[in-house]
Amino acid sequence: MQIHNSSSPPLGQDVSSFHENGYIIAPAVYTPEEMAACKRSAQELTESQSGPSGVFVWMCDTIPSLFEGIACHSRLMAILQVVIGPRIEFLSAKPVFKSAQVNFPSPWHQDQAYWGGAPKYSAWIALEDATLENGCLKVIPGSHRSALDHAAVQDKNGFGNRILDEDLKNETIVDAPLNAGDALIFHDCLLHSSHPNLSGRDRWSFIPTYRNADLPDPSTVWSTSKHIAPCDPNHNS
């Protein structure tokens, strides 16, 4: 895993790393103040609209303006345009909290198993530090090269489509801790999971999803999309 310490990651190097590994980590895409405001709003909105569940999904035409500003921020767009292509469509986004009571890991899976079609790309944005203790992501570099058959499982761990642990043999698993404001950008075929949350506190993240506007996409999961790159001058910088 390549974690850059500069505020502006070397994108030429990152795009080759992305194609090889299926993900990159972009540090300090957002300020601590932006992340704190996003977390406060996520806590208020998810509790009022969906109760104390772990995920609440917004389509691109229903997302509150604060979160659209984060999802379509020009700093993130500059990175996504290098990774995805110059023309990008925003599809949906979700604030996610891993509850302090979730003391089990999320199962291994590829997001592609849930929506199919052309490749999609997500940014896992840390609204606060994501650590081994509070349930950061773990990934399998290079696993994005093919879509895998997933087992259908129904249990308390969620993720009805998953890759079973016994099906993973001799894989290199990489932990991906993030600081607040960092973003892990990943291909939808990247195998990923997360550690259990053993911190005693909820862990918050925000995950917008995108696709290349120039590729046909037979997926019917999204009835709407929003063209966001080249950047809308109304979005912040």
Domain limits of the chain?
Answer: 11-229
Residue indicated by tokens 């592609």: 112
What whole-number distance in Å separates Cα of residue 122 and Cα of residue 70? 13
- pLDDT, tens digit, 9 for 90 and up, residues 157-189: 667 778 777 788 888 999 999 999 999 999 999
Burial class, 65, CB count within 10 angstroms (exposed 0-12 / middle 13-18 / buried 19+): exposed
- pLDDT, tens digit, 9 for 90 and up, residues 7-27: 344 455 678 999 999 999 999
First-last CA distance in the chain: 28
Provide mean pLDDT across the span 113-126. 96
CATH number of the 11-229 domain: 2.60.120.620
Give bridge partners of residue 126 from the DSSP assignment. Answer: 205
In this prediction the pTM is 0.88
